[in-house]
Amino acid sequence: MPFGFGKSAEEKQQDALRKEQLAVEEQRRATSLESLARGGIPVEATKRLQNARLLDGSFFTSDLSVNEFLLARQTKLRPISQVMGSSAYHVGWRFIDWYTPSGELSVPTTAINHARSLALGRMGQEASLLGAHVVAGVRPQLQRYEWSAGMIEFSFVGTAMRFEGMEPAPLPALTNLSGQDVWKLYASGHWPLGVVAGSSVYHAVPSWNQRMSSSWGGWNNQELTDFTAGLYAARHLATRHLHEGGLELGCSGIVGMSIQQEEEEYEVRGSNDNERTDMIFTFHAMGTAITERAPQHTIPPIRQTIDLRRETAAVVRTLA
């Protein structure tokens, strides 16, 4: 633009267009943040999933194995798309001093369970937008970052699937079972209600006797009973949180159970230069809550047989 001259009409129009685009982007960002604050998903993710539903299964992405995909081709179970749910969460300060007794640490325990609940809820919303009945192969991933103390990220990935001829589900069932196992459940007259999980962060304090035996008799074989008791307590509390989630869904049982364990040494200083080493145990338990369907919904199992009446043996599918 020459010195002393104002902007041309074309430049003014371009500036106005840029401002309008920035305003739209800012509004979209604000709407996405509001949705995330309510436990929802971003606006762009919603649009992407709505467009994917319009494809009506003509193209899909999944993490199914080849065997699972071939089984889906033979049954009424159809993969739609890969879905995910995530939550980045800041864990509050945990207070531990010399006088803190053994017990569950409520602040990190609540944070982990809430972060996982938000991530699973967002996965369910993605599957619902796709018109899915079930999400198979739900896999968790919990990450911690050195560059941000106290931050955790829960992520889940799975494959949204639909049963042909079944009425739309108000809320898709999430399951950590494989696609093959989902079909086995369905064929046997059962149905997954959802993923249930529970975590517990437990602080185990060694007694004076254990500290003394470790200090003066460390060369002898011995069980550290206070830490053993802490392990059992952490596992019990994690599975109790899981069972409570299953009861809320009204399930008849939980299948596909998996347990993960973490441990951390925690140095504590007291008065008169006293020191001790505590242990912090973290247990994660996860499974699929199921319920029994009406007996008439049981489907005869699919079996493979070899037809010996032909010169070339061929594998055919027959119903039992």
Go through the domains of the chain in sequence order and give each one's CATH number: 39-306 (3.30.110.70)
How far is Cα 128 from Cα 132, in angstroms, rounded to an integer? 6
* pTM for this prediction: 0.75
Alpha-carbon dihedral sign for residues 299, 300, 305, 309: negative
Under a CB-based contact definition with an 8 Å cutoff, are residues 115 and 87 in contact?
yes
Whether residue 318 is predicted with pLDDT greater than 50 in this model: the reply is no
Under a CB-based contact definition with an 8 Å cutoff, are residues 60 and 41 in contact?
no
| Predicted pLDDT at 188 | 86
Whether residue 307 is predicted with pLDDT greater than 80 in this model: the reply is no
Calculate what percentage of the chain has a pLDDT beyond 70.
Answer: 72
Q: How many CB atoms lie within 10 A of CB 320?
A: 6
β-bridge pairing 151-163 and 190-204? unpaired
Q: 3-state secondary structure string, 40-75?
A: CCCHHHHHHHHHHHHCCCCCCCCCCCHHHHHHHHHC
Confidence bin at 313 (pLDDT 50/70/90) = very low
| Predicted pLDDT at 289 | 95
How far is Cα 302 from Cα 71, in angstroms, rounded to an integer? 10
| Predicted pLDDT at 49 | 64
Q: In this predicted structure, which of 94-103, 222-231, 242-251 has the lowest mean pLDDT?
A: 94-103
259 token code pair: 């347990």
| Predicted pLDDT at 164 | 80
How far is Cα 214 from Cα 268, in angstroms, rounded to an integer? 16
Whether residue 209 is predicted with pLDDT greater than 90 in this model: the reply is no
Whether residue 100 is predicted with pLDDT greater than 60 in this model: the reply is yes
150 closest CA partner among 197, 106, 94: 94
How far is Cα 32 from Cα 37, in angstroms, rounded to an integer? 9
| Predicted pLDDT at 208 | 78
Query: Mean pLDDT for the chain?
Result: 80
Cross-strand partners of 284: 199, 260
